[in-house]
Amino acid sequence: MSGQVPKLEWRGVDKAFDGKAVLQGLNLDVAPGRSLVIIGGSGQGKSVTIKIAAGLMQADGGQMLIDGKDITGAPEKEQRKLASGFGMLFQGGALFDSLTVWENVAFRLINADKVARKQAKVRAIEALGRVRLGPQVADLYPSELSGGMQKRVGLARAVAANPAVIFFDEPTTGLDPITSRAINALILEQVKGLGCTAVTITHDLESARTVGDEIAMLNDGVIVWRGPAADIDRSGNPYVDQFVKGLAEGPIKPAI
């Protein structure tokens, strides 16, 4: 880390559900402006890892640091303040179905930043343009959009307030290969354009190679490998090799 304070740091983080340990002393960090991709099988704790960082879930043990400051156990108000510079693209989009597309994109501007609706709409349409969606979709409802368009709207919403950190939860799940590639390109463009720190969790190796500066592999609640995205195919790590080649035999037990 060359002495630089990480933007995000998981230090010995534990998390269990109904007595089943999901994260077991997780140690991980992301430097400012870097894009880290976390890969791993189903049920290995990838979503839990980013939800703890985003303040959506409390760790059972260990520390979660943002800019070197421990947010574990901090009052919810303080956690929200620390996390106010975050954006997140959810796996299913998580668009508010009772609001129009532009109201979704401008949600933070209107409700948290108290920007006037007229001005917020202009900024929302501008954010939609950044993800290649025209103003004609602004007044539609999320249910009127395709899955790929919903992901784009979710991305526009995540970047609209120029966050310092963006989390991407399975950004290409459920999309066809062409749309997935388009979403990956948009993610890369937005992350590099904003100069923000990004953490992506995915099963999609093409997505991982495209959007990540680094890749970390999570298995049984701990990081078993971490390295540059370019090294994923020659990691020499049995877990990574099994995952990359999609083999049933190996140290990773299938989730069925």
Asked if 72 interacts with another protein (CB under 8 A), we say no
CB-based contacts of 248, cutoff 8 Å, min separation 6: 254
CA gap 207, 172 in Å, rounded: 7
CB-based contacts of 81, cutoff 8 Å, min separation 6: none
Asked if 51 interacts with another protein (CB under 8 A), we say yes
Q: What amino acid is encoded at 254 in this protein?
A: P
Q: Which is nearer to another protein, 97 or 144 (CB)?
A: 97
Q: Which of 40, 45, 62, 87 binds another protein (CB under 8 A)?
A: 87
Asked if 253 interacts with another protein (CB under 8 A), we say no
Beta pairing, strands 61-66 & 35-39: unpaired
Q: Which is nearer to another protein, 109 or 240 (CB)?
A: 109
Closest approach of another protein to the CB of residue 45, in Å = 17
Q: Which of 26, 54, 65, 240 binds another protein (CB under 8 A)?
A: 54
CB-based contacts of 256, cutoff 8 Å, min separation 6: none
What residues pair up with 73 in beta bridges, in sequence order? Answer: none
- Report whether 89 contacts 151 (CB < 8 A): yes
What is the per-residue binding string for another protein in 89-118, x denoting contact by CB under 8 A? Answer: -xxx-xxxx---------xx--xxxx----
Query: Contact residues for another protein (CB under 8 A)?
Result: 51, 54-56, 80, 83-84, 86-88, 90-92, 94-97, 107-108, 111-114, 157, 167
